[in-house]
């Protein structure tokens, strides 16, 4: 999706708290929001529904960005540095379908970029379980999940503070 303010991509990488924090520190990312995506569309999800694993939703971060400052390829590079695409339905200590990894787009141009990038990424791994497809549906997560690690600096996350700082430094001078 592209708007006057920029573009949007949806990334699932296990628990959304750390992924949201790490993506928010990248230069050119204009907003991040935790949410739930690509589940059974007759159910409006909440955290308990998603954690049940019965309705197919995964935890995602909606990433709004300015493509004049940061490219989608750069965001995908950062994403794949933070996740392990060889793990199915888990990241860190988090287990279940809601913690699967995935990249979801809303427009054909982004879809083409994602597919091309992921084809190269797949060659680096003997197994690859990251879901790659268009966004089917998306719902914002409850307010207490938004900017969770800013509100709870010692909160659990499979993405460490050191990794978040590495992402900040590595992607502070990125080019589109």
Q: Is 15 a catalytic residue?
A: yes
Averaged pLDDT for residues 111-137: 97
Span 58-81, average pLDDT: 97
Residue 176 has a pLDDT of: 54
pLDDT-derived band at 5 (thresholds 50, 70, 90) equals low
Mean pLDDT calculated for residue range 28-35: 98
Mean pLDDT computed over 139-163: 92
Burial string for 13-46 (b: 16+ CB within 10 Å, else e) reads bbbbbbbbbbbbbbebbeebbbbbbbbeeebebe
**Mean pLDDT score across all residues of the chain:** 93
Average pLDDT over residues 93-100: 95
| Mean pLDDT, residues 112-118 taken together | 98
pLDDT at 156: 84
The domain ranges of the chain are 2-167
Residue 132 has pLDDT above 80, yes or no: yes
Mean pLDDT of 28-40: 97
Distances (CA, A) of 142 to 17, 46, 60, 63, 152: 12, 7, 13, 17, 15
Treating both helix axes as pointing N-terminal to C-terminal, what angle do 72-82 and 16-24 enclose, rounded to 10 degrees?
A: 140
Rounded to an integer, the average pLDDT of 43-67 is 96
Q: What pLDDT is stored for residue 173 in this prediction?
A: 74
Please state, in angstroms and rounded to a whole number, the distance separating the CA atoms of residues 28 and 175: 9
Region 2-167: CATH code: 3.30.1060.10
pTM summary value:
0.94
- In this prediction, residue 104 carries a pLDDT of 98
For residue 174, the model assigns a pLDDT of: 60
Question: Is the predicted pLDDT of residue 110 greater than 60, yes or no?
Answer: yes
| Residue among 15, 34, 58, 157 flagged as catalytic | 15
């Amino acid at each position: 999706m592209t708007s006057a303010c920029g573009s949007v991509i949806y990334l699932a990488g296990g628990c959304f708290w750390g992924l949201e924090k790490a993506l928010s520190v990248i230069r050119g990312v204009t907003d991040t929001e935790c949410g739930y995506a690509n589940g059974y569309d007759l159910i409006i999800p909440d955290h308990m529904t998603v954690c049940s694993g019965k309705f197919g939703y995964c935890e995602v971060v909606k990433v709004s960005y300015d493509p004049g400052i940061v490219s989608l390829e750069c965001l995908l590079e950062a994403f794949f540095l933070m996740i392990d695409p060889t793990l199915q339905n888990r990241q860190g200590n988090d287990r279940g379908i809601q913690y699967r990894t995935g990249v979801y787009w809303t427009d054909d141009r982004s879809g083409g970029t994602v597919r091309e990038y992921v084809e190269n990424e797949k060659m680096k791994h003997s197994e690859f379980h990251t879901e790659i497809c268009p966004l089917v549906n998306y719902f914002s997560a409850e307010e207490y999940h938004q900017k969770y690690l800013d509100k709870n600096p010692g909160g659990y996350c499979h993405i460490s503070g050191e990794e978040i700082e590495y992402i900040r430094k590595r992607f502070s001078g990125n080019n589109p």
